[in-house]
Amino acid sequence: MNLKDFIIKKLMLFFTLSTLIAIAVFALGSALDPEASLGYDALLSPIEYAALCVLPTLVTYSRRELTAKELLPRMALEFLLTEAVMLTIAYTSPAIDTSRVEVVALIALSVLIIYVLVRLLGHIKSSVEAKSLNADLIRFQKLYDSDRADSQV
């Protein structure tokens, strides 16, 4: 993967994570502490969290295509590092009551759900791109075959 594609992919991941984290913060906050009011600085939290969660994705980077056998352990490490980042943020933030077991469990569960959603969205995007590329290749092959048949006449 070239640097331009890598940067674009990480930016798309950042924006996807920002959106999903904002939804998770809203859902968890509404469920666990509905009376809390947040200042404008809280609007930046999902952006900060997303930026920090992009960092663990660097363990899955490779200049060449990884096999499934090579990718799976890297994805597991990426997930564990992402959980560690988010739980570290939770435990160091005075605004998050980590003395409540359900809060920590729901944060960890939210990270898992977001991780799976991001991977699923990436898979869907790759599948759509692959189908488009295959269709283009079939059209090119038909064009090439018809040109070759015409030249043999």
Whole-prediction pTM value? 0.81
Indicate if the pLDDT at residue 137 is higher than 90: yes
Q: What is the chain written as a DSSP string?
A: --HHHHHHHHHHHHHHHHHHHHHHHHHHHHHH-TT----GGGGGHHHHHHHHHHGGGGGG--SSPPPHHHHHHHHHHHHHHHHHHHHHHHHH-TTS-TTSHHHHHHHHHHHHHHHHHHHHHHHHHHHHHHHHHHHHHHHHHHHHHHHHHHHH-
pLDDT at 77: 96
pLDDT tens-digit series, residues 87-131: 999 999 988 899 999 999 999 999 999 999 999 998 999 899 999
Is the confidence at residue 33, as pLDDT, over 70? yes
pLDDT the model gives residue 114: 96
What is the overall mean pLDDT for the chain?
90
Where exactly are the structural domains of the chain?
A: 3-119
